[in-house]
Amino acid sequence: MSGRGKGKGEKARYWQRTTSEAARSRMSIREFCRRRRLRESQFYWWQRKLKASRDMRTMRSRKQGVNGNQASFALVSEERGATDAGIELVLGDGRRLRIRQGVDDETLRSVLAVLEPGRC
């Protein structure tokens, strides 16, 4: 693949598809690159770059929480008796806390103060 005429985003998408295809092909990287007429060093460079980019996005989303906030809520189940957890709280670092229906406010505040000091 020539570097001319392709934007940064387009190159990244191309290499994302290519590295995914290589993983699904069950061929060695050397054989995959040989058949596609790709430079093996370039393949590995893009593979590392794409992984680092994914890792950074994951770290940012964990710091921000699911919705860009410190914590978010998700309904665990609407079905009565299916579970004793009424809601699941996803904390800023990705940890999950299941909160049973009927828990009193003070207990919940105490637990959250221990798990995420300075935020309650």
Domain ranges in the chain are 8-64, 72-115
- Nearest alpha carbon to residue 32 among 45, 53, 18: 18
More confident: 75 or 23: 23
Q: Which pLDDT score, from 0 to 100, does residue 46 have?
A: 94
Tokens standing for 12? 């990244």
Tokens standing for 100? 């049973």
Strand-pair partners of 97: 89
Backbone angles phi, psi at 89, to 5 degrees: -100, 125
CB atoms closer than 10 angstroms to residue 40: 13
Instruction: Give the pLDDT band of residue 71 (cuts 50, 70, 90).
Output: low
Q: What is the pLDDT of residues 88-115, one digit of tens each?
A: 777 777 777 777 777 778 877 887 787 7
- SS3 category, 20: helix
Residue 36 DSSP one-character state: H
Q: Which pLDDT score, from 0 to 100, does residue 88 have?
A: 74
The answer to whether 98 and 88 have CB atoms below 8 angstroms apart is yes
Q: What is the pLDDT of residues 5-30, one digit of tens each?
A: 567 789 999 999 999 999 999 999 99
Q: Which pLDDT score, from 0 to 100, does residue 66 have?
A: 47
Got the DSSP string for 80-117? TTS-SEEEEEE-TTS-EEEEETT--HHHHHHHHHHHST
The pTM (predicted TM-score) of the whole model is 0.47
